[in-house]
Amino acid sequence: MIRKREKIISTFLVNFCIYIQLSIINIQHIAIRIILCYSYIMRKISLRDLPDKKTSHKGVGLKKVIIASGYIPNLMQFAKVIFQPGEVAPLHEHSDLYETFYVTSGNGVMNINNKDISLTVGDCITVEPGEKHILLNNGFEPLELIYFMIQKNDL
């Protein structure tokens, strides 16, 4: 009877230890996921630390990519771009992207599907997938915009 009780207690203690070890492993995995998620979400970036890059539109304009593709689902880019007076992002379209621009400085014109739209500080404009567009700085000072591009979802 004593041996049976010892075996039951021994089995219980072994199973309990395994349970505790698995619990610790699960807690460690959860903690790692929280840390990864936290570092993914809480990403601080300063524009002054980012390099200037030419845009993909024939090298016109300089941009600083704040968030590149891959960090946030469906976000293809979040950036600041500067067009000098007279610079033009030539006619183009994105079949699978939405683009939203917010003017922080200067003046310009965006032509979307052959319709001119004046842009000034505080204006926000969205270009939908498939819309042909041109961006022109027609002012006398740099045209600065913050913009983001979001991948279109086909549901």
Domain that holds residue 16: 1-42
Map residue 144 onto helix, strand or coil.
strand
Structural domain total, the chain: 2
Domain identity same for 75 and 144? yes
Rg from Cα positions in the chain: 27
Instruction: State pTM to two decimals.
Output: 0.69
pLDDT at site 24 = 55
Burial degree of 14 (CB within 10 A; 0-12, 13-18, 19+): exposed
- Residues 81 and 17 grouped into a single domain: no
pLDDT band for position 144 (cuts 50, 70, 90): very high
User: For the chain, what percent of residues have pLDDT higher than 70?
Assistant: 71
Same domain, 112 and 68: yes
**38 and 51 both lie in a single domain:** no
69 and 27, same domain (yes or no) = no
- Please check whether residues 81 and 130 belong to one and the same domain: yes
Residues 15 and 87 in one domain: no
- Does one domain contain both 121 and 85? yes
